[in-house]
């Protein structure tokens, strides 16, 4: 217990004696924590939106207008056992007309209501477990016949299946690119934060290198010398993280909550503020403590 009190007193004494490097370290941690605190929710929201877009990718199977009820029922049973298909929703011509009317506006909407007959065919909308399995599902719906030609699994199907193949491929490629870009930005920010904090702490330790050398020469062990610096790093990390969290809270109350009141961010899924604060504080403390302990090694060689 006596050593703990000694280490704490040495850490606070060092903070008072090396005020300028300590303030620089705190400012660095505040800035990097703020960047992480803003970027992490943005990354989470972007990933959520990308996943939402990917989940909307499916296959639409158009049927012949003269397909009988028995054929449609038999096809529905076959679709229920196709691998990677989680749901198959039947849409009658009347259902398709309502959907098209809802999507069109203005004169085109009125033109549909003036048609003497409904030209839209019945269809099945397939929901997949993973958009990347779209080609496997397409192959299962169009297995090759004896001649090697793709043939629908039901005579009621009006091929080809899924005319949106190109659009689905573009969506998958774009969402994958967005994911990789966000991962790259996160990695770069993490590396930059580690380097900034480590360099700032190194300046603080360099300013007291003579003190470290004297302690080493009089027989102090490496850990006896290292602990006050690590505790100092923890204190600096807590102060910096606390200031950053305070700024983030103000931004949340004044910006995010205000946008929520206007229903501008209600459909955006991101990280809750509580877990975000815990993650930022833990990261700031861990980086500061490790930065102090690792950076001090070169000054322990006398």
User: How far is CA 24 from each of CA 197, 235, 251, rounded to the nearest angstrom?
Assistant: 9, 14, 23
Topology at the third CATH level for domain 64-157: Alpha-Beta Plaits (3.30.70)
In this predicted model, what pLDDT tens digit does every residue of 77-107 receive, in sequence order?
A: 888 888 988 888 898 888 887 877 766 665 5
In this predicted model, what pLDDT tens digit does every residue of 189-225 receive, in sequence order?
A: 767 766 766 676 677 677 777 777 777 778 777 777 7
Closest CA to 87 of 56, 119, 129: 129
How does residue 163 score in pLDDT terms, banded at 50, 70 and 90? Answer: very low
Closest CA to 79 of 121, 124, 136, 123: 124
How many C-beta neighbours within 10 Å does residue 212 have?
19
Alpha-carbon distance of 273 to 253, in angstroms, equals 11
Q: In this predicted model, which residue has the larger pLDDT, 262 or 153? A: 153
- Cβ(265)–Cβ(190) below 8 Å: no
Share of the chain above pLDDT 90, in %: 1
Average pLDDT of the segment spanning 123-150 = 84
Rounded-to-10 torsion of CA 248, 253, 254, 258: 130
How does residue 243 score in pLDDT terms, banded at 50, 70 and 90? Answer: very high
Alpha-carbon distance of 295 to 167, in angstroms, equals 52
User: How far is CA 112 from each of CA 8, 97, 98, 105, 117, rounded to the nearest angstrom?
Assistant: 79, 8, 10, 11, 10
β 123-128/58-62 pair status: antiparallel
The domain spans of the chain are 2-53+172-260+267-300, 64-157
Whether the per-residue pLDDT at 262 is higher than 70: the answer is no
Alpha-carbon distance of 184 to 93, in angstroms, equals 47
Average pLDDT of the segment spanning 8-13 = 72
Read off φ and ψ for residue 128, nearest 5 degrees: -105, 155
Average pLDDT of the segment spanning 100-115 = 61
DSSP 131: G
Alpha-carbon distance of 94 to 134, in angstroms, equals 27
Written as six digits, the tokens of 151 are 């043939």
């Amino acid at each position: 217990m006596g050593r703990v009190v000694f280490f704490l007193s040495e850490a606070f004494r060092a903070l008072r004696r090396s005020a300028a490097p300590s303030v620089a370290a705190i400012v660095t941690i505040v800035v990097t924590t703020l960047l992480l605190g803003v970027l992490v929710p943005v990354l989470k929201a972007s990933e959520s939106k990308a996943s939402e877009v990917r989940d909307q990718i499916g296959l639409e199977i158009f049927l012949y207008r003269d397909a009988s009820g028995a054929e449609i029922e038999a096809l529905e049973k076959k679709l229920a056992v196709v691998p990677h298909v989680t749901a198959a929703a039947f849409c009658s011509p009347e259902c398709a007309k309502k959907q098209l009317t809802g999507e069109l506006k203005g004169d085109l909407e009125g033109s549909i209501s003036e048609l003497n007959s409904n030209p839209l065919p019945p269809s099945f909308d397939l929901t997949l477990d993973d958009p990347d399995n779209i080609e496997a599902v397409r192959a299962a719906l169009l297995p090759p016949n004896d001649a090697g030609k793709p043939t629908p699994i039901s005579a009621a199907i009006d091929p080809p299946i899924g005319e949106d193949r190109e659009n689905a491929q573009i969506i998958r490629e774009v969402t994958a690119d967005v994911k990789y870009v966000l991962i790259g930005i996160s990695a770069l920010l993490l590396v930059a934060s580690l380097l900034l904090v480590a360099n700032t702490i190194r300046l603080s330790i360099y300013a007291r290198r003579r003190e470290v050398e004297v302690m080493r020469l009089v027989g102090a062990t490496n850990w006896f010398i290292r602990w006050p610096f690590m505790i100092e790093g923890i204190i600096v990390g807590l102060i910096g993280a606390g200031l950053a969290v305070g700024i983030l809270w103000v931004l949340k109350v004044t910006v995010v909550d205000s946008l929520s009141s206007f229903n501008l961010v209600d459909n955006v899924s991101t990280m809750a503020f509580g877990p975000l604060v815990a993650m930022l504080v833990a990261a700031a403390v861990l980086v500061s403590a490790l930065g102090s302990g690792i950076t001090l090694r070169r000054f322990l060689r006398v």
